[in-house]
């Protein structure tokens, strides 16, 4: 399946299907400006898929060179950015040579930032291999790295020539990573696609059992949703109801992650899963959302064994610490916080008018310690 992403100055396809890596030569030859690529990948993905990709590219005469980085969030850093760009420049890159990201969101963000900035922009292709990167980070054009001051603080918008979302690669993904990516799919449904959420209720278990058809359907729907949002608000300028909505569950989620120091004990998607529940709990607490909708969200996450509440975690969270992270994240004004809330399933909206006391109450009802 080809899903077109249409933006103001460019458009590209997200190709979703099985065994795409083994057809990468044929799929990429028509879009590459030159039959030469540098592949950036990580140490978990390389042994599984790199050889297959290089062979497939060679079939249509595309020559490739590959660079490997360690797996994990720490790789998205200035030092690794410097190592990669040094290596690329040392080998004398040409302006029309493409950078190919083969891996999850870490590789995609880092390789994308290398592509965005080297020679002021090299052509770029994404081959996302995690569920999260297939439904979220590979679509939208955001690239970047972390600094000691926080996550994703250096970055650029750089749209790819093409995205190949090969759902066959998800067969080797650890279950926890699969669950984390699935949380972002549920999020898409909750933001603005009730039919997608209803589909999740019916087929979510098959997705987490790595059923290839269910995975392909899930990726298609979530990518289509993200592509619509991104097309409407390419650079996050429509504060009211564009890309900002993609942060449903994320203000809470980021606070939980930040409190653990982003050390991998809680995956981003796991934090988002809890954050989605909290966003609905807060919406109900403020009288903006029917309780039945919150219960439906809860039931779905719990039925699949996903993290749903702060009390489910084996770490202690203190309310004030979480509040501090949210205030840093969102710049509280006059004791009020901005949030993405929901009037119901598929009806998210942004507001700047949430009293801090309501946020505290919701956190403590969920298991945070006063």
Q: How many residues does the chain have?
A: 370
Kindly give the residue spans of alpha helices, DSSP state H, lying in the chain.
Answer: 24-28, 51-59, 78-90, 105-117, 131-132, 175-192, 194-208, 212-232, 250-259, 268-285, 291-303, 319-330, 356-366
User: Please, which residue, 185 or 359, has the CB nearer to ligand NAD?
Assistant: 185
Span interacting with ligand NAD, options 16-24, 54-62, 126-134, 362-370, rule CB under 6 A: 126-134
Site string for ligand NAD, 152-171 (x = CB under 6 A): x----------------x--
Span interacting with ligand NAD, options 80-88, 129-137, 256-264, 302-310, rule CB under 6 A: 129-137
Span interacting with ligand NAD, options 93-101, 131-139, 217-225, 316-324, rule CB under 6 A: 131-139
Residue among 252, 247, 342, 248 nearest 292 (CA): 342
- Check residue 307 for interaction with ligand NAD (CB under 6 A): no
- Show the 3-state SS of 159-189: CCCEEEEEHHHHHHCCHHHHHHHHHHHHHHH
Site string for ligand NAD, 69-88 (x = CB under 6 A): --xxx--x------------
Query: Beta 142-147 vs 124-128: how paired, if at all?
Result: unpaired
Check: CB of residue 269 under 8 Å from CB of residue 132.
yes
Of 64, 118, 126, 137, which lies in the binding site for ligand NAD, with binding defined by CB under 6 A? 137
- Show the 3-state SS of 245-308: HHHCCHHHHHHHHHHCCCCCCCCHHHHHHHHHHHHHHHHHHCCCCCHHHHHHHHHHHHHCCCCC
Of 136, 193, 257, 270, which lies in the binding site for ligand NAD, with binding defined by CB under 6 A? 136
Span interacting with ligand NAD, options 51-59, 99-107, 190-198, 314-322, rule CB under 6 A: 99-107
**Residue 258 Cβ, how far from ligand NAD at the closest point, in Å?**
13
Span interacting with ligand NAD, options 28-36, 136-144, 292-300, 343-351, rule CB under 6 A: 136-144
- Check residue 179 for interaction with ligand NAD (CB under 6 A): no
Q: How far apart are CA 245 and CA 324, in angstroms?
A: 22
- State the residues that interact with ligand NAD by CB under 6 A: 42, 44-45, 48, 71-73, 76, 103-107, 109, 129-130, 132-133, 136-137, 140, 142, 151-152, 169, 172-173, 177
């Amino acid at each position: 399946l080809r899903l077109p992403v249409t933006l103001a100055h460019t458009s590209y396809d997200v190709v979703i299907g099985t065994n795409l890596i083994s057809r990468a030569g044929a799929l990429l030859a028509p879009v590459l400006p030159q039959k030469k690529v540098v592949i950036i990948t990580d140490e978990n993905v390389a042994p599984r898929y790199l050889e297959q990709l290089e062979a497939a590219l060679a079939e249509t005469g595309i020559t490739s060179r590959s660079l490997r980085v360690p797996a994990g969030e720490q790789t998205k850093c200035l030092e690794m950015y410097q190592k990669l760009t040094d290596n690329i420049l040392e080998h004398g890159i040409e302006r029309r040579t493409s950078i190919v990201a083969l891996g999850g969101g870490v590789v995609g963000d880092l390789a994308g930032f290398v592509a965005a900035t080297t020679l002021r922009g090299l052509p770029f292709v994404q081959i996302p291999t995690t569920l999260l990167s297939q439904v979220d980070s590979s679509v939208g054009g955001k690239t970047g790295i972390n600094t000691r001051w926080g996550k994703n603080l250096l970055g650029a918008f750089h749209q790819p020539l093409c995205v190949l979302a090969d759902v066959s690669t998800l067969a080797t993904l650890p279950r926890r990573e699969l669950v984390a990516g699935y949380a972002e799919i549920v999020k898409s449904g909750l933001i603005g696609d009730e039919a997608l959420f209803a589909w999740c209720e019916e087929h979510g278990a098959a997705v987490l059992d790595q059923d290839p058809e269910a995975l392909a359907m899930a990726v298609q729907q979530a990518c289509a949703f993200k592509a619509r949002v991104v097309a409407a608000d390419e650079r996050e300028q429509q504060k009211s109801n564009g890309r900002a909505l993609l942060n449903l569950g994320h203000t809470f989620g980021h606070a939980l992650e930040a409190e653990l120091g982003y050390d991998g004990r809680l995956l981003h998607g796991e934090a988002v899963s809890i954050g989605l529940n909290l966003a609905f709990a807060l919406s109900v607490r403020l009288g903006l959302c029917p309780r039945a909708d919150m219960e439906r969200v809860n039931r779905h996450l719990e039925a699949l064994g996903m993290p749903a509440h702060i009390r489910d975690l084996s770490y202690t969270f203190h309310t004030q610490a979480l509040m501090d992270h949210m205030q840093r994240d969102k710049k509280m004004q006059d004791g009020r916080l901005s949030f993405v809330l929901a009037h119901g399933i598929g009806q998210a909206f942004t507001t700047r008018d949430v009293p801090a006391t309501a946020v505290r109450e919701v956190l403590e009802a969920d298991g945070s310690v006063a």
